[in-house]
Structure 1
């Protein structure tokens, strides 16, 4: 796969609509050409301690951030026509679908590919197929659970295994 947008969301709480950050890495002709990182005021607008412990994002970090529709209006034109790729597409696709629903936006049924599923097929011998494990194996820099770093690692992995 040479042309795609790798995407990663972090959530504020257990609700998949509660995206509080997004990282997008756009690849064209097999190269990373653009990176996008945005903080988002989540819906519902509260943070669970469990999520803060994972990604370190706190309510004060998103207090001045835009709501999802404004953020997506800046991202969507830049990824138009590209398939999306995520590491664990089930999570990221459901975040996207749920936040679209929370704002009564029409979900355009994006084509989604998954580096997690591809890695499971390619490397059944591995004890797990987490992004941090695969990043070590493929020598990819990663600040795990930082949306842009996760999207960048996913893009690098996708360029090698999809």
Structure 2
């Protein structure tokens, strides 16, 4: 299969666990905590849709958005893409669109902006 999303191909995920299995492990670790995304308007609906597809109750997390915050705090940046904003706060995002690398960059931005 030749389709990909953000560099992730079918072969990258074909043997991966399904969302309900992963979520069963993650949910207890984040219970009661806010979530942070660099583009909340994309990530939050995706997470809600995964819950809906697998008929898992969605706990209505508080979501913070580093994209919105970066537009407010750094209005003169050439753009507000994750790699641009992370570089601006001193974090070099070497593996953009890799889930862990993107999450670390987002966390670094949130910490620098004292969002929590």
**Considering the TM-score relative to the shorter chain, is it more than 0.5?**
yes
- Unaligned 5+ runs, structure 2: none
Q: CA RMSD in A?
A: 1.5
Bigger share in strand: 1
Tell me the equivalent position of 1:122. Answer: 73
Cα deviation for residue 156 of structure 1 reads: 0.7
State yes or no: 1:63 paired with 2:14: yes
SS of 1:151's partner is helix
State yes or no: 1:48 paired with 2:3: yes
Higher relative contact order (CA 8 A, sep 6+): 1
Tell me the equivalent position of 1:145. Answer: 97
State yes or no: 1:112 paired with 2:60: no
TM-score, normalising length: structure 2: 0.90
Cα deviation for residue 48 of structure 1 reads: 3.0
How many residue pairs get aligned? The number is 113
Cα deviation for residue 106 of structure 1 reads: 1.1
SS of 1:134's partner is helix
Contact 2:83 2:92 in 1 (8 A): no
Cα deviation for residue 86 of structure 1 reads: 0.5
Whole-angstrom distance in 1 between the partners of 2:59 and 2:2: 28
State yes or no: 1:158 paired with 2:110: yes
SS of 2:79's partner is coil
Query: Which of 9, 21, 37 lines up with 1:86 in the alignment?
Result: 37
- Unaligned 5+ runs, structure 1: 1-45
Whole-angstrom distance in 1 between the partners of 2:75 and 2:43: 23
Whole-angstrom distance in 2 between the partners of 1:48 and 1:93: 23
